[in-house]
């Protein structure tokens, strides 16, 4: 497995990983899969902000991706980001999510990030919360009933990891 910065030419593979999560699952509140132009815009937004957008490959095939976006636009939030991590279904259970999160945290530390937040939809599957907790994230709260998708009202769990010592 190789984890490396994603390039614009990787974004079709990124979209291929993400689209089934949008269409068929509850793990993202996005309702329509982003098109190529939107992926290009997101990639540019992330990289222009000096933040990581990473791709995991197994035998040259895109197996997952991760990136961070600024948490809020107000200047006082500078240095606080939200992470996103998705692993292709065929690659699940191989430790790819952990490798991506480790690489993301390392890259964030090099990018003047102080706090990394994870906003996890509470679908009943503990995998994402467990992954984040295993990397030092702690519970920061729960937002109740904030999303509706596929006819279900859903909560989000907020987790936080500081990259600076107090």
Query: pLDDT, tens digit, for every residue of 18-71?
Result: 999 999 999 999 999 999 999 999 999 999 999 999 999 999 999 999 999 999
Mean pLDDT of 124-135: 96
pLDDT digits (tens, 9 = 90+) for 89-101: 999 999 999 999 9
Alpha helix positions (H), 7-144: 11-24, 36-48, 96-110, 127-134
Residue 166 has pLDDT above 70, yes or no: no
In 5-18, which positions are buried (b, 16+ CB within 10 angstroms) versus exposed (e)? ebeeebbebbbebb
Nearest to 86, CA basis, from 126, 128, 137: 128
Give the CA dihedral 31, 32, 38, 43, nearest 10 degrees.
Answer: 50
Tell me the pLDDT band of 124, cut-offs 50, 70 and 90: very high
Taking the C-alpha atoms of residue 136 and residue 104, their distance in angstroms, rounded to an integer, is 13
Q: Which ranges of 25-71 would DSSP assign to H, the alpha helix? A: 36-48
Q: Is domain 2-116 given the CATH code 2.40.50.140 in the classification?
A: no
């Amino acid at each position: 497995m190789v984890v490396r910065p994603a390039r614009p030419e990787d974004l079709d593979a990124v979209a291929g990983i993400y689209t089934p999560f949008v269409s068929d699952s509850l793990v993202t509140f996005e309702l329509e899969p982003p098109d190529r132009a939107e992926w290009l815009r997101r990639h540019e937004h992330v990289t222009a902000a000096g933040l990581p957008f990473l791709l995991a490959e197994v035998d040259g095939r895109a197996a997952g991706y991760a990136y961070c976006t600024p948490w809020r636009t107000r200047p006082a939030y500078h240095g606080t980001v939200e992470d996103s991590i998705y692993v292709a279904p065929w690659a699940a259970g191989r430790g790819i999510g952990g490798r991506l999160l480790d690489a993301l945290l390392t890259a964030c530390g090099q990018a003047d990030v102080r706090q990394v937040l994870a906003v996890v939809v509470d679908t009943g599957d503990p995998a994402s919360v467990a992954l984040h907790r295993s990397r030092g994230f702690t519970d920061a709260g729960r937002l109740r009933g904030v999303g509706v998708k596929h006819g279900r009202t859903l909560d989000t769990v907020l987790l936080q990891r500081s990259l600076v010592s107090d």
